[in-house]
Structure 1
Amino acid sequence: MRTAALFLDAERLSALVGTEVVAKRLRHKPGLSTVAALHTPDGVHGWAQVASRAHDPRIVRAVRRAGRAGQRIRVIEHDGLTLAFGPVASDPELAAGFAELGDEQRAGSVLLRYNPHRRAVLRGTLDGAPVSIRVHGERGDAKAAQRRARGLLADGVPTIVPLQRTRSTSTWAWEGESDLAHPSADGEWAARRAGEALARLHTVGGDAREPRSTRAALLRQAEDLAVLDEHLGRRARRLVEEADLTETDLVPAHGDFSADQVAIGPGGVWLLDFDRYRLAPRLKDLGGFHAVELLSGRTPLTGPLLEGYGVDPGDALRPWVFAGLAARLMEPLRDADPRWRDRISDRLDQMEQWRR
């Protein structure tokens, strides 16, 4: 917990970084390190990683990778830990991709989303038209994203394909005027179209990766939580063990389906971001969608989505809503909420209502 504690203390973190920041998008590896995005009142400032002595070699390699891409990272020792931080373009897993964009394209782009060490999404232009530019952290991810999108579009799934790509970046047309999480027009109409698109996705062949056990993943998460708070970890483990997560009726699934993954335009909708595309139970995408709707606090669009999908699963959906809520259990910690224990406890209460 020591490597995460610094990110939960905004005043101490700001003093070390030298400007007012708060941490977001925490990713914690118990006993090793924690990485986070740093935000100022004006937006994303950069990234930071706090590592134990056992993880110091990773910091050294990160500094070297950033240096090869022409970036500099600050490294300081604090309270027996190593703190490394720098601007987004110096992120050691993304620095090569930012270098591929070049100074002119980076200067003309606006950062939209940033997941440290994994991906950055920018809005830019290509031949005068707006585009979305993704900088990928995982080797081969840009090529795989292009291949998946082309295959799905050929199979009749409404999505978009990259206009161009490099080894570590991909550039996509800017489709749609809004998304289903913030619809500018008839949200129920768009949700029905999204349901139809999801039904089509679930019937295609494609190159979906092999399935992963949802229960096993949630149990690993419970173990990680127990390292931070034994009581909360035990509660999470009990709920996951008791949930009826029967993993049958496997289909090619989006894997992270929610309203903000649906772009809306005058001609219809497009499904986006297939990074987690793999075989999974048919109801997992539908249950995950409803889970995010519940957490958002907005009026759920799950009803019209199911109308478009053409199936009313009834109570069979409940365990997969539970799974969707459980997959997002750690969000209060990832958001560096000082009351993360209380917030996670509240989410466990909510999961309890949906586990059967």
Structure 2
Amino acid sequence: MSAQTRSSEPVRLARADADLVRRDELLPGLATLLDPAAFLEALSRDLPDANPVAAEPLYLRYKPGTNCLVEYRVRAAGGREALLYAKTYGLDAASKLKKALRKPGVPGAFGVGRLVWEDRKTVVSFFPNDDRLEQLRGLTDEGKTRRLLGHVLPECPELREGRLAALRYKPERRYVARLTGTGGQGAALKLYTPGGYAQAERNALAFSETFKSTGPLRVARVLGRAEREGAIAFEWADGEPFEKTPTAGAAEKVGAALAELHAQGTRDLKYTTRQEEISSLNALAGAVSYTLPELLDGFYTLAARLSAQLLRERPLAVPIHGDFYDEQVLISASHVTILDLDRATLGDPATDLGNFAARLEYDALEGDLPGDLAANLEASLIAGYGGAGGDVLPEKVRLYKAVGLFRLAPEPFRSRRDGWAEKTGRILSRAAEVLEEGA
């Protein structure tokens, strides 16, 4: 661990980032975190022996005036990589830095657990050190790993002795790993924060125990869970991610599987009210408008139009995924597995169709998917859904597609895309166009 004081260095920020830094004077480390070159320079001074040569921002979470978290992948000269996140604090910085100085953590890939930059009110945490996923640190110790797996999977000895391989990590939110048992059996292990575990457990049990794998749909069963460890283990699901096989046939299968999911009758999920939907749109408009004040009128105007349209729709209480898009499905020859039901709720089934279509549209706007293919996949998804008995109302799907695009507006900023400000504006414009198409 290191705690040093240094003067501020010049940074090479894009205009939108520089404007944001000027407005948010309560976060002294914001300029460094938003500039990979400046972040790398600061890291190199504290870790000369590691010789880091490249820093790639992966993910950002920002609360104006309160904190900003940026996850980085850092590569050293010899090819060694470290996953870490840096978090700069505002008015509560003193207590946060004091805590970090008391808890140096376990050594990460570069031999340190945490760095504290007092002048920037910033803490850098190297994986597996995480302030809210404290159980992660135990995965570096064989004995602690066995104990955790023993608590989660008491009736699966072959998995308890298995090996973990990281799949996804979102700092201070969630960690997902593949667990391979001694006999080749597989499971997915998810670690949650204390606050995230309760909803994840409730939803996992609702889908695992109440929902059935019928027709083309497969839902991974819960194999074990442990509240104290904040961990849930699921069956391993085989198949190819949809994003690797984006064909009309695959999209039809996904639509059919989604119809099966919506047709099942659990009531053991939280109901999302219209007011909650509307409140979330207004909150998002406020957050995006802070990063891009020039778009304030556009975001609040569209939020109001979307809200008015939602209020005209009859509320429904159907079990829905709640965050449905291409990365949440695996395709095999005989079935489709729907993943990541942590945000499942009771609501309008058009939410899932519209959100999937919005993500296709977003990928097209980003240049990651041809526009005509995105439109074809959307049509095939809806055809598969209707063909399997799902109730398709095109105007409602368009509404939720516009809502989905609106919710994706912060994504270029969060994922640190080049030209994120212009891309955010394009998403806003396209969401408004989609809503007009249904008028």
Aligned match for 2:337, one of 253, 270, 280: 270
Alignment-derived partner of residue 181 in structure 2: 126
> TM-score if structure 1 supplies the norm length?
0.87
Larger radius of gyration: 2
Q: 381, 395, 406: which one pairs with 1:305?
A: 381
Deviation of 1:188 after TM superposition, in Å, equals: 3.2
| Counterpart amino acid of residue 259 in structure 2 | A
Checking the alignment, whether the CA contact within 8 Å between 2:295 and 2:425 is kept in structure 1 is yes
Q: Which whole-Å deviations, capped at 9, do the CAs of 1:151-190 have from their partners, x for residues lacking one? A: 343485621023333332223333122122212xx84333
Kept in 1: contact 2:319–2:346 (CA 8 A):
yes
Match for residue 88 of structure 1 among 110, 127, 131:
127
Measure, in 1, the Cα distance between the counterparts of 2:101 and 2:251.
45
Against the structure 1 CA distance between its residues 63 and 180, is the aligned structure 2 distance closer, same or farther, given a 3 Å change threshold?
farther
1:219 aligned residue: 282
Matches within 5 A, 1:224-239: 224-239=287-302
CA distance in 2, matches of 1:63, 1:265: 49
- Residues 134 and 209 of structure 1: CA distance in aligned 2, closer, same or farther (over 3 Å): same
CA displacement at 1:323 relative to structure 2: 0.6
Q: State the Cα deviation string for residues 18-56 of structure 1 (Å, max 9, x = none).
A: 333132221101111011211235766111111123344
State the 1:200 CA deviation.
2.5
Preserved contact between residue 37 and residue 44 of structure 1 (Cα < 8 Å) = no
| Match of residue 207 from structure 1 | 268
2:169 — aligned with what? 114
Query: Aligned partners of 1:54, 1:338: CA distance in 2, in Å?
Result: 31
Matched, 1:354 2:434: yes
CA distance in structure 2 between the partners assigned to 1:302 and 1:110 by the alignment: 34
1:136 corresponds in structure 2 to: 192
TM-score, normalising length from structure 2? 0.72
Give the counterpart of 1:32 among 42, 66, 77: 66
SS of aligned partner of 1:133: strand
Structure 1 residues 221 and 188: CA distance shift in structure 2, 3 A: same
Partner secondary structure for residue 131 of structure 2:
coil
Give the C-alpha shift of residue 67 in structure 1: 4.6
Distance verdict in 2 for CA 1:102–1:188, change over 3 Å: farther
Letter in 2 for 1:90: N
CA distance in 2, matches of 1:69, 1:279: 43
Q: How many residues are aligned here?
A: 352
Counterparts of 1:190-339 in structure 2, within 5 Å, are: 190-203=250-263, 204-212=265-273, 213-243=276-306, 244-246=309-311, 248-297=315-364, 298=369, 299-300=373-374, 301-310=377-386, 311-339=391-419
For 1:30 and 1:88, locate their aligned partners in 2 and report how far apart those are by CA, in whole Å.
25
Give 2:138's aligned residue: 99
Q: 1:62: Cα distance to partner? A: 6.0
Give the Cα separation in 1 of the matches to 2:339 and 2:354.
18
Secondary structure, counterpart of 1:208 in structure 2 = coil
Over the matched positions of the two proteins, sequence identity in percent amounts to 23
Q: Give the superposed CA RMSD.
A: 2.9
Q: In structure 1, what is the Cα distance between the partners aligned to 2:241 and 2:97?
A: 38
Q: Tell me: higher relative CO, structure 1 or 2? Use CA pairs within 8 A at least 6 residues apart.
A: 1
Deviation at 1:355, TM superposition (A): 2.1
Tell me if the contact between 2:57 and 2:71 (Cα under 8 Å) persists in the aligned partners: yes
Q: Is the 8 A contact 2:113 2:127 kept in 1?
A: no
Q: Is the 8 A contact 2:59 2:415 kept in 1?
A: yes
Question: CA shift at 1:91, angstroms?
Answer: 1.0
For 1:302, the aligned partner's letter is E
Larger deviation, residues 170-179 vs 268-277:
170-179
Aligned mates of 1:155, 1:88 — CA distance in 2: 36
Q: Deviations over 1:201-235 (max 9, x none)?
A: 22322311121422221211111222222222221
**Local SS of the residue matching 1:113:** strand
Which whole-Å deviations, capped at 9, do the CAs of 1:302-348 have from their partners, x for residues lacking one?
A: 22221222144223322211111111100111122352211211211
Gaps of 5+ in 2: 1-19, 22-26, 45-51, 147-161
